[in-house]
Amino acid sequence: MRVAALCDIHGNLPALEAVLADVEREGVDAIVCGGDLVGGPFSVEVFDRLLSLQDVRFVRGNADRLVMEGDGEHGVDWSAERRRLGEPRLATIASWPLTVELETEGLGRTLFCHAIPSADEPIFTRITPDKDVAELLGDVEAKLVVCGHTHVQFDRQLASGLRVVNAGSVGVPYEGRRGAFWAVLGPMVELRRTEYDVEAAAVSIREAAGPTGEQHSGWLLEPPDPDEATAYFESQRGA
Ligand SMILES: [Mn+2]
pLDDT tens column, 23-34: 999 999 999 999
**Residue 218 CA to ligand 1 centre (angstroms):** 19
Residue 30 CA, ligand 1 centroid: distance in Å: 22
pLDDT tens digits along 75-99 = 677 888 888 999 999 999 999 999 9
- For residues 156-170, one letter each, b for 16 or more C-beta atoms within 10 angstroms of the residue's C-beta and e for the rest, the string is eebeeebbbbbbbbb
Report residue 211's pLDDT band, with 50, 70 and 90 as the boundaries. confident
Cα 28 to middle of ligand 1, angstroms: 24
Q: For the chain, what is the mean pLDDT? A: 95
Residue 33 CA to ligand 1 centre (angstroms): 12
Tens of pLDDT, residues 123-160: 999 999 999 999 999 999 999 999 999 999 999 999 99
Read off the DSSP letter of residue 124: -
Per the structure, how many domains does the chain have? 1
Helical segments of 105-197, H only: 130-137
Helix axes 43-51, 78-94, angle to 10 degrees: 20
Give start and end residues of each alpha helix (H) in 95-157.
130-137
Domain residues for the domain of 27 are: 3-236
For residue 80, give the CATH number of its domain: 3.60.21.10
Task: Give the Å distance between the CA of 233 and the centre of ligand 1.
Answer: 12
> How many angstroms does the Cα of residue 9 sit away from the middle of ligand 1?
10
β pairing state of 3-6 and 180-185: antiparallel
Instruction: Return the pLDDT at 73.
Output: 66
Q: How far is the CA of 74 from the centre of ligand 1 (A)?
A: 10
